[in-house]
């Protein structure tokens, strides 16, 4: 059942700061909510992203753990990247997989299957970012250096449970569950 409460748009009273970088724009605003209360909000605008489950040689593979400044440590995650302006999201997903696994055949035909056609909100109270999920199957004849593989899991319940024990990224876990739900249909 949908929420029957009308959606009243809040009014932007002023923008008191905008910081633009190549990666994001940080915006501070004063808003008037639907109860006539003035509020200060900060938000981030970024390009939409792709998060990718990757299969190679009958296994789920994840790239090497990458340093995450927000956590201050390396974490194990699915491949992920942002689309450049005007770039189709499936092309961004393909290029991300090629980059993160160090595949030298950049023009290799890999199977890119979308899990959602409408982007999922990442954190709608703080950012405009939408995430698109993909499953990419890399052909068995494509060689991937073991140095570029952070982890691999069997495509069975034991492998899925092991992955979930080791995967702490909420977006990655959500994508994995969405894939499993679609896979069971």
The residue extents of the domains of the chain are: 11-45, 49-184
Residue 109: which pLDDT band, with cuts at 50, 70 and 90?
confident
Q: Which pLDDT score is estimated for 7?
A: 63
Q: Which pLDDT score is estimated for 18?
A: 98
Q: Which pLDDT score is estimated for 111?
A: 82
CB 63 within 8 A of CB 42: no
For 60-90, what is each residue's pLDDT tens digit?
999 999 998 888 999 999 999 998 888 899 8
Q: Which pLDDT score is estimated for 185?
A: 65
For 135-180, what is each residue's pLDDT tens digit?
999 998 899 999 999 999 999 999 999 999 999 999 999 999 999 9
Q: Which pLDDT score is estimated for 5?
A: 59
Alpha helices in the chain (DSSP H): 89-100, 157-166, 170-184
Mean pLDDT of 91-100: 91
Q: Which pLDDT score is estimated for 110?
A: 78
Strands 130-138 and 49-56, by their bridges, are parallel
Residue 174 has φ and ψ, to the nearest 5°, of: -65, -45
C-alpha radius of gyration, the chain, whole number: 19
Distance from C-alpha of 3 to C-alpha of 154, rounded to nearest angstrom:
41
**In the numeric block, which tokens belong to residue 117?**
């056609």
CATH class assigned to 49-184: alpha beta
pLDDT surpasses 80 at 107: no
Q: For the whole model, what pTM was predicted?
A: 0.86
For 1-43, what is each residue's pLDDT tens digit?
455 555 678 999 999 999 999 989 999 999 999 899 999 999 9
């Amino acid at each position: 059942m949908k929420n029957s409460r009308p959606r009243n748009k809040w009014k932007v009273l002023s923008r008191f700061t905008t910081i633009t970088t190549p990666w994001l724009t940080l915006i501070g605003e004063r808003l008037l909510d639907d109860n006539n209360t003035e509020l200060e909000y900060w938000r981030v605008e970024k390009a939409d992203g792709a998060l990718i489950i990757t299969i190679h040689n009958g296994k789920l593979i994840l790239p090497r753990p990458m340093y995450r400044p927000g956590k201050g440590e390396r974490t194990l995650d699915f491949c992920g990247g942002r689309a450049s302006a005007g770039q189709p999201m499936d092309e961004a997903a393909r290029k991300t997989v090629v980059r993160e696994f160090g595949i030298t055949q950049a023009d290799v035909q890999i199977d890119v299957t979308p899990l959602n056609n409408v982007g999922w909100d990442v954190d709608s109270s703080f950012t405009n970012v939408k995430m698109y999920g993909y499953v990419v199957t890399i052909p068995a004849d494509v060689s991937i250096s073991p140095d570029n593989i952070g982890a691999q899991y069997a495509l069975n319940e034991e492998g899925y449970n092991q992955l979930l024990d080791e995967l702490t990224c909420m977006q990655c876990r959500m994508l994995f569950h969405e894939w499993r739900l679609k896979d069971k249909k």
